[in-house]
A and B are shown apart, each in its own frame.
Chain A
C-alpha cells in the first residue's frame, strides 16, 4: 500500500480543501446571503426608531368624536420625537385612490403610512409602493382581515378596521327564524312581508350605488350559490347560479303591484334612514350603522309610523358569506422612517386601540380578543353576530387591478338590472381582461 505516508497534508488541510471546493463555495454563498438578509431584517426590528414627523395618508376621519385622531393624540403624547399627523383625503374612494397612487408614484417620502382600502393592497404591493411587513406576527388578528393585507406570499399591510355585511331586521315583524335565507328576498317573501305593515315602502334595503353595487351584486350571486371569480381566478359569472342571483336582484328592484318594491337600493345612510323611518323591514348594512339605529331614540320616535325602531330591531349575520370590507395600514416604500412607522402601526392595531375604536368610534375591530372581550360584549350586543359574520366573510377578487375590475363588473350588473338579469355580450372575457388590467 503505497502513498499515504508523506503525501498527507494533515487534518486542517483537508478541512480547508473541503471549504475551498465548489460545494464549499455554494454553502458560503448561501450563508453570506442568509446572513445579509437576517441582518437586514434584524436591523428593522432592533434598530431604534428614526426620529421625525410621521404622516398617515387616509380618507377623512368620519368616526364619532374623531376617534382615530384621539388615538393619534395619545401616540403623540408618548412619542415627542415621532409626532404623527393624519393627511386627510376626501370621502370619495376614487379621490383617495388617485391621491395615494399619484403620491406613491411620485415618491419623495412625503407619506409614511397609507390607510388603504383592502381592495387596493394588491395594487400597492405589486407596484412596490409599500413595504413587506413579514416580521409582524399574526397573533390574534382575525384570519379574514389579516389575509387582506397579504399578497404574493408576503404580508404587506396590517388590518386597521374591518367591515362585514350584517342583516338588520325589525323584531316586531320578524324573528331570527323567519328572516330570509336568500338575499334579496324573492317577490313572494317580499309581498308577504309588505302585507304585514302598510308603512313599508320595501321589504329589504341593500346598497346599489357605486362600490355598494359591486358588493351587493356579488353577495346576491353568492346567495344563489354562484360566484363572480372562482378560487382559481377564473371568471364564472356566466354560471346558471350567478344568473339566478342577478335575475333575483333585477326583479327585486322592480316595482311590485301597488308601487312598493322587494328591495330599496340606496346608499348606506339612505337605507339606514329608511330603516329608522319604518320604510323597510330588513336591511343589509355595515356594523357602524348599528350605533346610528340604536341612537335614533333621540329623534322623537313616537311620531314615526312604527314608533321607536331602536327598541325593536336585531342584527344577525347574512345567510351566506358576506363580502369583506375594511382598511389596512401599510408603510410607504419611500418612507424614510419605516421603523417608527411600524411602531405607530403596532400602536394603532394594538388590542387597546382596537377596543377604543370599536366601543367609541364604531369601527369593527380586527382582533379576535377584542370581539371576545366580556366588557366589549356587554357594550356592543352585536359583537357575537359580528364575529360570526367575520369568520365566514370572503374577500372580493384579489387583483392589482381591482378598480378596473369593479368598474367593468358594475357596468355589467347595471345592464343586468335593466334586462331581467341577462348579462351583456362578452362580459366574461372583459372581466378576465380587467382582472389583468387590460382594457
Chain B
C-alpha cells in the first residue's frame, strides 16, 4: 500500500484521446494549486507508458475521469478507470477516490464502476474552471489516513509568487531610491529588510520537502501562467489588467531609472594630493600620468588626483604643518578646509624634515604614536641642493665634479663677485635647507652651526644685493625667481654671473623648458646641458621627497593613495619622476649627515639675526567704500583691516620702525599720518591701532599719490636698514594726479619695495596694480586679510 509520504500527485487525470484539449485545460487549472499528473504533460520523452503511468496513478490521491462520448472507444482510459476503482476499493493509497467529470453532459453509456460515484458535470454554467475549483475543494476535505481532515495545502505557489514580486519591487525601489535602502535609515530600512527576510524564510519552509521538484513545478507553473495571461485577462480581466499595468509601469520605471543613472563612466575616486608651491607643476604632471595609467579600456578614468598647495593659498609652511598635526582641525588662525583645501589623502613635501616637524607638533598635541596622523613615509625621489647658473649659454665657473664644500664655493662667489639668489628661507623647506647648507659646516660627520654670524651676514648681504631692484618679496619662492628669469624680467647686476641656490629639480625644469609653476608658461629648453651649469657642493643636503599617507584616510582614497605610491615606485612611475627633473631614491651620493629639524630651526634663527631692522610705512585705504560691510567677515571693511593691523603690530621687533598712514588725507598731506613708532616704542602700538580705528572712512582713493609720497617718506633700503611701503586698498585709484605707469617708475627709482594688499574690487592680476607691483601685490579677501597682513609683517620685521 502506498503510504502518505509516497503520494506524489493530488490528481491523476484520465481521459480519452478525443478529450485531450479539455484534459490539458483542467490540468492547467488544477496545477496552479495542486500536483497533477496528465500523461501528455507529465511524461518525459523516453518514459515507459506501461510503467510510469500506472505508477503515477498508484501514487495519486484522486483519479479524475473525464467521461465523454469518446470514452467508449478509449481502451487505455477504461483500464485506468478500472485501476482507479480498484485503488479506491483497496484504499491504496488510503482515502484514494475516483471522481467522474462528465464533459458535455452524461453519455449514454457510463463505464463500469462510475455510475454509483458522485460526479461533476460540465455544462452551461459549470465550466471547467468551476469543475477545477470543486476538485480543489475536494482536496481540502479529503480525509487523511486515520479519518482526520487534512489541513488545507497551500500549494506553495502563492508564497513563491509573493516572494518574486516582493523581490522585483525591492529591486525597483533599490534602483529608484538607492539611498532609501541604505543602512542607517532606521525603522523603515529595517522594516523592508525584515519583510524580505520573513518572506524568504516562509518560502524556504514551504519548499523544505522535495525542493527541487517544487522549483521545477514552480518554473513550469510560471511558464504556463505567462502563456495564459491573455486567457486570464479575459476570464479575470480586472485583476489581470491591474497586474499587467503594475508590472509594465514598474518595469518602465526601473528601466528609466537604471538607464539614466548608469550613463557614462562612474565617478572616479577623488585623491586630494597636497604638495609644495615649488612642487605644484611636477606633481600635477605626475598626477596626470598616473590618471592616464589608471584609465580603463572603456576610457573611463578611475582616479582623479587633485593637486594643491598650502603656499598657493597663502598659508605658510609652518601653519600648514600645524594644520596637519591637528588632523586638519581649525585653530584660532586658520581653518584648513577653508584656507587651504580638502584634507589630503597624500602629502608630497620636498623633504622628510617637514614630516619630522608635523610628527613633533603632533606629539606636542599629546598624540601618542598610535594616534599620529602620519603613517611611515617612503621616499619616491631625490634632489640635492645646488647652485645653478641662470645666464643662458654660459657654463658654470667650476665643474660639477669639483667636489668642493659649501664654504669653498661661497668663498669663490665672494672672490669672483657672483650674483647670488636664494628663495626666502621661510618660503619653503627647500629654501630653509639651502640656508642650512650655506651656514653649516660638516665636522667629523656632524653638523656645526656654531661659527660666527658675521660670515652668514656677509652671504646674506650678497643675496640681498642680488635681489635689489627685482621688486621681490623677501620670501620669494624658487618658482617665482625662475619664472621671472624665463620671462626675461630678471635683471642682471652688470656682467657678473648669477647663480640661484635651490634644488637641482627646479633648475633642471628651468634648463629643460618644463613648466616651473602652473601659472608660468612652458618654454623651449635652454641651449647646452644642465650638467655644465650646476655646482653641487660635496657637503650639500638632499631633498628626499617623501610620499606621506595619513591615518585619517579611509577607502576608497586610501586604496588610491597606495596605488599611486606603487605606481610612482614602479618603472613607469620612476620614468615619470625622472622626466620631471628628479632623481630616483638613493641616486645621490652624499656624505653629509642628515640634518634634523632642529638644525633647520637654528639656521633660520641665524638668518633672522642677519636681517637688518625694518622701517615700514603702512598706508590703509580710508575711502568711502571701506565703510561697506565686509563680505565674508563681520563688521565693515575698515574694521576688519584695523583688527588686522592691530594683530600685525605684534610682529614688530625692538629695532623696527613703523609709520601708519590713511588715505585720502583729512586736510593737508601731513594729515595722512596717524602716528609713528620709533625703535623700542612697543607700548605705543595699541594707541596707534586705536587712532586708526577712530579715523572714519570717507572720500576718494588717491592710491597712486599716496604710494609715491610714502616711497619718498621711507627712503631707500641700506645695508643696515630695510625700508618698505605696505598699502592696503579695496579699490582702484580714483583721484590721483599721476598715472599707474608714472607711479611704477617712481617706485623703481626710489630703491625701496612697495607691497600692496588688494581686496574687494582691487585686483592684483590685471589693471594698474599689476603694473605698480607686479610681484609684490597680494590678493586677499576680507576673511583672510588679517592673516596676509600678519604673514607679510612677519617677514619684514624682526631684524637686529
A181 at interface by CB-CB < 8 Å: no
Provide the residues of chain B in CB contact with A40, threshold 8 Å.
Answer: 180, 185, 188-189, 191-192
Chain B 450-486: CB-based contact to A (< 8 A → 1; otherwise 0): 0000000000000000000000000000000000000
Report whether B182 and A34 are in contact in the complex, using a CB–CB cutoff of 8 Å.
no
B557 at interface by CB-CB < 8 Å: yes
Report whether A65 and B629 are in contact in the complex, using a CB–CB cutoff of 8 Å.
yes
Report whether B256 and A61 are in contact in the complex, using a CB–CB cutoff of 8 Å.
no
B131 at interface by CB-CB < 8 Å: yes
From known contacts A17-B136, A272-B761, A438-B299, infer whether A22 and B187 are also in contact, taking CB-CB under 8 Å: no
Which of A17, A24, A106, A299 lies in contact with B553, CB distance below 8 A? A106
Report whether A21 and B33 are in contact in the complex, using a CB–CB cutoff of 8 Å.
yes
B623 at interface by CB-CB < 8 Å: yes
Which of B169, B232, B267, B340 lies in contact with A101, CB distance below 8 A? B267
Which A39-94 residues have C-beta < 8 A from chain B?
39-41, 43-44, 47, 60-66, 87-92, 94
Which of B166, B191, B260, B553 lies in contact with A152, CB distance below 8 A? B260
| Assembled-state Cα–Cα distance A304/B340 (Å) | 38
Residue of chain A at shortest CB distance from B632: A62
Distance to closest chain B CB from A355 (angstroms)? 18
From known contacts A88-B337, A95-B308, infer whether A154 and B176 are also in contact, taking CB-CB under 8 Å: yes
Report whether A438 and B298 are in contact in the complex, using a CB–CB cutoff of 8 Å.
yes
B412 at interface by CB-CB < 8 Å: no
Which B309-340 residues have C-beta < 8 A from chain A?
313, 335, 337-340
User: Is the contact region of chain B dominated by helix, strand, or loop, or is it mixed?
Assistant: mixed
Report whether A266 and B186 are in contact in the complex, using a CB–CB cutoff of 8 Å.
no
Residue of chain A at shortest CB distance from B188: A40
Distance to closest chain B CB from A39 (angstroms)? 6
B403 at interface by CB-CB < 8 Å: no
| Assembled-state Cα–Cα distance A16/B133 (Å) | 12
Residue of chain A at shortest CB distance from B307: A98
From known contacts A17-B136, A36-B195, A439-B295, infer whether A24 and B158 are also in contact, taking CB-CB under 8 Å: yes
Provide the residues of chain B in CB contact with A90, threshold 8 Å.
Answer: 313, 338-341
Which of B253, B268, B766 lies in contact with A270, CB distance below 8 A? B766
From known contacts A13-B140, A273-B731, A438-B298, infer whether A400 and B264 are also in contact, taking CB-CB under 8 Å: yes
| Assembled-state Cα–Cα distance A296/B627 (Å) | 12
| Assembled-state Cα–Cα distance A124/B523 (Å) | 39
B116 at interface by CB-CB < 8 Å: no
Which B538-564 residues have C-beta < 8 A from chain A?
553-557
A136 at interface by CB-CB < 8 Å: no
From known contacts A14-B133, A30-B246, A152-B261, infer whether A25 and B735 are also in contact, taking CB-CB under 8 Å: no
From known contacts A7-B134, A36-B191, infer whether A105 and B269 are also in contact, taking CB-CB under 8 Å: yes
B713 at interface by CB-CB < 8 Å: no
From known contacts A3-B126, A8-B134, A30-B165, infer whether A66 and B634 are also in contact, taking CB-CB under 8 Å: yes
Provide the residues of chain A in CB contact with B102, threshold 8 Å.
Answer: 2
Which of A37, A89, A91, A102 lies in contact with B272, CB distance below 8 A? A102
Report whether A107 and B554 are in contact in the complex, using a CB–CB cutoff of 8 Å.
yes
B531 at interface by CB-CB < 8 Å: no
| Assembled-state Cα–Cα distance A299/B732 (Å) | 10
Which of B154, B158, B556, B763 lies in contact with A273, CB distance below 8 A? B763
Residue of chain A at shortest CB distance from B194: A36
| Assembled-state Cα–Cα distance A1/B127 (Å) | 12
| Assembled-state Cα–Cα distance A61/B265 (Å) | 33
Report whether A152 and B257 are in contact in the complex, using a CB–CB cutoff of 8 Å.
yes
| Assembled-state Cα–Cα distance A254/B633 (Å) | 39
Chain B 588-622: CB-based contact to A (< 8 A → 1; otherwise 0): 00000000000000000000000000000000000
Which A139-170 residues have C-beta < 8 A from chain B?
151-154
Which A312-365 residues have C-beta < 8 A from chain B?
333-334, 336, 338
Provide the residues of chain A in CB contact with B165, threshold 8 Å.
Answer: 25-26, 28-30, 32-33
Report whether A98 and B735 are in contact in the complex, using a CB–CB cutoff of 8 Å.
no
Among A29, A151, A292, A436, max chain B CB count under 10 A is at A29
| Assembled-state Cα–Cα distance A266/B155 (Å) | 77
Provide the residues of chain A in CB contact with B699, threshold 8 Å.
Answer: 300
A15 at interface by CB-CB < 8 Å: no
Report whether B169 and A33 are in contact in the complex, using a CB–CB cutoff of 8 Å.
yes
Q: Which 10 A-B pairs have the closest CB atoms?
A: A29-B165, A40-B188, A25-B161, A33-B169, A437-B265, A436-B264, A300-B700, A3-B120, A298-B624, A25-B158
Given contacts A22-B161, A131-B180, A436-B264, 13 further A-B contacts (CB under 8 A): A25-B157, A25-B159, A29-B162, A60-B783, A87-B337, A95-B308, A99-B341, A105-B269, A109-B184, A153-B253, A269-B763, A401-B264, A437-B301
Question: What are 21 residue pairs bridging A and B, where the CB atoms are less than 8 Å apart in the complex?
Answer: A3-B118, A3-B120, A3-B121, A8-B137, A22-B32, A25-B159, A29-B169, A37-B180, A40-B192, A90-B313, A101-B267, A266-B766, A269-B761, A300-B701, A336-B184, A338-B185, A401-B264, A433-B299, A437-B266, A438-B299, A439-B295
